[in-house]
Structure 1
Amino acid sequence: MTSTKTTAHDLAERVRAHLCKIAGQSTPITYQALALNLNLSPPNTIQQLTVALEVLIEQDAAQSRPLIAALVISKAREGLPAPGFFDCAARVGRFEGDASGPEAATFHEAECATATAFWRTNSP
């Protein structure tokens, strides 16, 4: 039987590969569209994706790379990632502030631009 951690890391690598492909387009992708593109199976497809994105945030922060997870946004949050993105970015020391405040939008805009520029040329 496969452990949840192994599954999350495997999915994280699939997510990273897909996000690297779209980084050159400079257009974020919604959680739902990413789940569909990766053919994730219910139940809890968005939760599966969220766990994988948190793995990517931890990996990127540990390697001092731009957060590729910034390319994934919530349809319901007007172009921002879900609050969990900001919570995880704060846990790894990359974000300070309120996930619903103006600092979240400022941080995300900068991180998304940096991640797009970096990941379009630095595929795994």
Structure 2
Amino acid sequence: MRLEARLAALAAAGETLHYGALARDLGLRMGELTAALESLMEEDAAQGRPFRAAVLSQRLSPDHLPAPGFFQKAAELGADVSDPAAFTADQRRRLAQCS
């Protein structure tokens, strides 16, 4: 299953997945996954869509939030990430509605 399809399936199911698990599932190195996710975020921002990468979470995050790099990239793309939990919840809600 391709990255985009896997993220869409997670969003539709209202689920999250850890970065490492997704990398293993897709046979990617972490650096490859990160680069692909950043590219998707750029595409999402250009199209005015919610960030598909929001369905991923850090392995040790008690709140199931994405990694800091997600928020850094989102901010670079013009998103207000001053409240990471609220931003993530909004992105995930919007993704579920699009599915």
Fold-level similarity (TM above 0.5): yes
Kept after mapping to 2: 8 A contact 1:61/1:67: yes
Structure 2: which 5+ residue stretches go unaligned?
A: none
Q: Secondary structure at the match of 2:13?
A: coil
Give the residue type in structure 1 aligned to 2:48: S
Whether 1:22 aligns to 2:10 is yes
Aligned runs of 1:1-124 on 2, under 5 Å?
A: 14-40=2-28, 45-78=29-62, 79-97=64-82, 103-118=83-98, 120=99
CA positional deviation for 1:115: 1.4
Give the conservation status (yes or no) of the 8 Å contact 2:55–2:92: yes
- Structure 1 residue runs of 4+, over 2 Å off? none
Deviation of residue 21 (structure 1)? 2.3
Q: Distance in 2 between matches of 1:50 and 1:65?
A: 19
Alpha-carbon distance in structure 2 between the residues aligned to 1:68 and 1:96: 15
Q: CA deviation at 1:111?
A: 0.9
Q: Which runs of 5+ in 1 are unaligned?
A: 1-13, 98-102
Q: Is the 8 A contact 2:12 2:95 kept in 1?
A: no
Contact kept? 1:86, 1:95, Cα under 8 Å: no
Specify the structure having the higher radius of gyration (Cα).
Answer: 1
Q: Tell me how far apart the structure 2 counterparts of residues 116 and 52 of structure 1 sit (CA, whole Å).
A: 21
Do 1:29 and 1:73's aligned partners in 2 also have CA atoms closer than 8 Å? yes
Overall identity of the aligned pairs, in %: 38
Alignment TM-score, normalising by the size of structure 1: 0.72
TM-score calculated relative to the size of structure 2: 0.89
Count of matched residue positions in the alignment of Structure 1 and Structure 2: 97
CA contact 1:32–1:46 (8 Å) conserved in 2: yes
Structure 1 counterpart of 2:96, one-letter code: T
